[in-house]
Each structure stands twice: as C-alpha cells, then as structure tokens.
Amino acid sequence: MAFNFGGAATNPATGLAAPGFGTTTTAAAPAGFGGFGTTTTGAFGGFGTTTTSAAAPGSTFSFATPASTTGGLFGNTQNKGFGFSSGLGTGTTAAAGFGTSLGTTLGGGFGGFNIQPQQQQQANALSAPTLLGDERDAILAKWNQLQAFWGTGKGYFNNQLPPVDFTQENPFCRFKAVGYSCIPGSKDEDGLVVLAFNKKEADVRSQQQQLVESLHKVLGGNQTLTVNVEGVKALPDDQTEVVIYVVERSPNGTSKRIPATTLYSYVEQANTKAQLTQLAVFMSVTRTELSPAQLKQLLANAPAGVDPIIWEQAKVDNPDADKLIPVPMVGFKELLRRLKIQDQMTKQHQSRVDIISNDISELQKNQATTVAKIAQYKRKLMDLSHRVLQVLIKQEIQRKSGYAIQVDEEHLRVQLDTIQCELNAPTQFKGRLNELMSQIRMQNHFGAVRSEERYSVDGDLLREIRQHLKQQQEGLSQLISVIKDDVEDIKLIEHGLLDRLG
C-alpha cells in the first residue's frame, strides 16, 4: 500500500479511508524481479514490458498536490467542516440523540444511510443495547453514541457478542468533510514515481548527485539504467518530495522510460523498500492519471463512512470537475495535514510571486536605463551629424578652391543676401525683436518706479496676463534661436566666399 499527499486514502476493496497521505495504489509485484532487462514473461526479470494488475481507483494522486479550494479550505461542500449542521441527527429525538429505535429511523435520521449487515451491530450498540437489561442500557446507548460521534472506543451492547470498534470511518462519526484534490495528468509511460524523504529540501538538493547514485544502486546498479530527477519540492514538517523516473538504454542505442507501475512495483518490494528506508524514504507513490473508468467508479461509490448525500453534493459543488476530484477527510489529523500542505503551497506561491516581482522591478530599471541611453545616443548622433556636415562643408570648399563661382552658387549667394536683408529690415524679425526688447526694458523700468504703489489685480486677469507673457517669451526665445542660427549660417557663407575670393 502506498500513500500520497494529494487526497485522502481510500481502500478500493472496503471503501474505508486509509491512514496516511492519500489514496492507495494497488499493483501486483513482479513474480521474479531479478533485474531490469526487457522481458514479456510472467516472471520477468527487468523493467521491460510487464503485466501488472490495474491500479485501484484513485491510486494516482500526487502527494505534492494541495487541495484546490473554492470558498473554503476544502472546497464548497455540503459539510463545510466538522460541524453538526447536516447529515447526522436529523429526524432523531432530542432526548436520546440517536433516537430509541435507531434501526427504523436511520433512513431519515442519518442523511439517508442504508444500514448494511456489518453495520447492524453498530446500530444495535447505539440504539438498543441489551447488556444490563434495565435503565442503564439507555445510558450505555448514549455513551456508545458519544463514542461513535467521536470515532473512537468500543461499544458494548450484548453479553453474547463482542463489542464493536468505533473508528473514524464509521458512518456516525461527525468529524468528516469532503475536499478536493488535483487529478495528475502524467501517463504511465512517463514513469514518474514520487519518493518522500524525511529530510529538508536544502539537504536533498545539496546531496542530489549522491542520492541519484544511491537510488541507482538500490535499483540493481544495472549500467543500462539511468535514474533521473524530475523535480524536488519542499513538504511540511521538514520533508521533501523527489520525483524520479528511470530510463533504460537498449544495446541498439534506443532508450525508453520504465513505466511508473513497473518501477513502483519494484520499489515496493520488501528488500527494496528496506534499502529506501535507510535513505530516509518513508513513502512512495506513482503519479499517473486516472482512466475514465477508474474515475467513474471512484465517483459513483461514496467512500465508507461518508454520507452518500454529502458525496453527491460534493460532486455537484466541484469547482472544476475536469481537474479536481472530491476526497474525504476524516479526523483532525487529516484536516491538519491538508492545512499544512495548503500553508506550504501558499508559501511556495508567495515565494514565486516575490521572485517575479523582483524580476519585474529589475526589468523596469533596465528599461528606464535603456530609454536614457537611447536619448543619449540620439543626441550624440545629432552632434555627429553636425560635425559631419561641417567636415563636408570644409571639404567642398577645399574641393572648389581655385574654381570660378558657378551659376548655381551665385544664385544661392543672392538668395542668402535676400534673406539677410529681410532679417535686418526694420519691419522684419530683427526690428521687431529690438522693439519688443525695448518695450520689455521700459516695462521693467516703469515697474521699478511704481513698485511702491499699491494696487490690486483680479486673479483671473493676472493669470491671463501671465499666460500671455509666457507665450510671448516663448515666441521670442524661438525667434532669437532662429535668428542666431541664420546669422551663424550667413557668417559661415561669408567666410567661405571671402576665402574663395581671397
């Protein structure tokens, strides 16, 4: 029997929830596993094609997969936790709790349970014990009911029959709920087997190479086999999950993975399991998907001790029927285990979110640095373009030295003279600029003279004046810049003409 971390354990034969970490896996061990060579016989000696019994329904949950929840920790189920609001108790009398005739009231009093023959003794112990034959039997019935509610103890009901054992799997135990676990998507051909170690994740990662070599020796040390680690993940209580698969190389150079069921059957052999225990392995389980028939069978039959009505409601409330499957949770230990797994996965998700956040911040810094560099390179490109233009001008002047002025050059000189005259005209840009500058100086002078006068200006009007002056100042700045550029160009042209004429 193997357990996992993905859901409550279920025994396919009895339907009882098994203790441990999840669903059981049943696979027939090979008759004679002397090695891992390929064979098709019944008593095969290797990891070749083998014939194993079908895995039990629910045998493929990954013990690293936490319960995916909607609404609460264990999903939106009929029984939200370990409360007393549904199932048991309805239709019973208030004085005796279970009623005085439990055998006739179970149909309505306990969520529709159909009493099976093996449950008849429990029902007699709860409703009508005949141990003492007087009114003390009623007190004994209440005591048995309390034990059944809690899920522990022995119920004495008849001198001729042995007492019944009340476990948490009995249908009257109140500490039950239904949650959801993820259905693994790996196939048997992927060969994934999960090993749980009683070691911290850091220790396992630091000794991963030694661990692979040790597992290779445990599996027989065959040189044609290679043990590979698919992943390492931390589990609660300083435990670690290691997912492995084994690759077998054939003499012709091809290789294939050993099926998960075959590898698991070998790992579960007594001698192999003892060697793995020395490596601090306390659990092994396959990670394979459920077939449609297995999934249908698992959902069709409610686990032992779980109200069929609650089970049906859990299937209806399943937030994602394609990825999640309902699993029973019995007892506080199972609740605590799932809570620890949920907390562990939350920490891992938060750690991953923090890493992504740091990466985003780093990328944003790099992006801002890149934008600044691009702007710097643009300015540098413009400066280099101006320098190249100046070099071309000097080169052209040098090349034309000694030649007479051509017609197109003369036309260009005339145009430049015309532009210079327009700029220097009193009514043009330069004259207007001088006029504006003189007016500004006068305004500054009058403002200094009248600074002692007291007057008030409307706020809106003052804002309009400021806006207007700001626009005028910007226009003047642009105009001055254009004139300076034109003057520089004219000086350059004059200098070139003088050099040529000289």
One digit per residue, the tens of pLDDT, for the chain of length 502 reads: 333 333 333 333 333 333 333 333 333 333 333 344 333 333 333 333 333 333 333 333 333 333 333 333 333 333 333 333 333 333 333 333 333 233 332 333 333 344 455 577 777 788 888 888 888 888 888 898 888 888 888 888 888 888 888 888 777 888 888 888 888 888 888 889 999 999 888 888 898 898 899 988 888 888 888 899 988 888 888 889 999 999 988 888 888 888 988 999 988 888 888 889 888 898 888 888 888 888 888 888 888 778 888 888 888 988 888 888 898 888 888 888 888 888 988 988 999 999 999 999 999 999 999 999 999 999 999 999 999 999 998 888 888 887 888 888 889 889 988 888 887 777 777 777 888 888 888 888 776 655 555 667 778 888 888 888 999 999 999 999 999 999 999 988 888 888 887 6
What's the token pair of residue 383? Answer: 């400066």
Give the amino acid at 75: G
Tell me the C-alpha distance between 370 and 471, whole Å.
34
Q: Do 26 and 232 form a contact (C-beta atoms < 8 A)? A: no
What's the token pair of residue 389? Answer: 């233009």
User: Which of 196, 198, 146, 134 lies closest to 175 in space, CA to CA?
Assistant: 146
Instruction: State the Cα angle at 272 between 19 and 267, rounded to 5°.
Output: 60
CA 331 from chain centre, in angstroms, equals: 29
Helix axes 459-501, 407-424, angle to 10 degrees: 150
DSSP one-letter code for 259: P
| Tokens 């590898």, located at residue | 263
Pairing, β 225-235 against β 193-197? unpaired
Residue ranges per structural domain of the chain: 102-174, 406-448+458-502
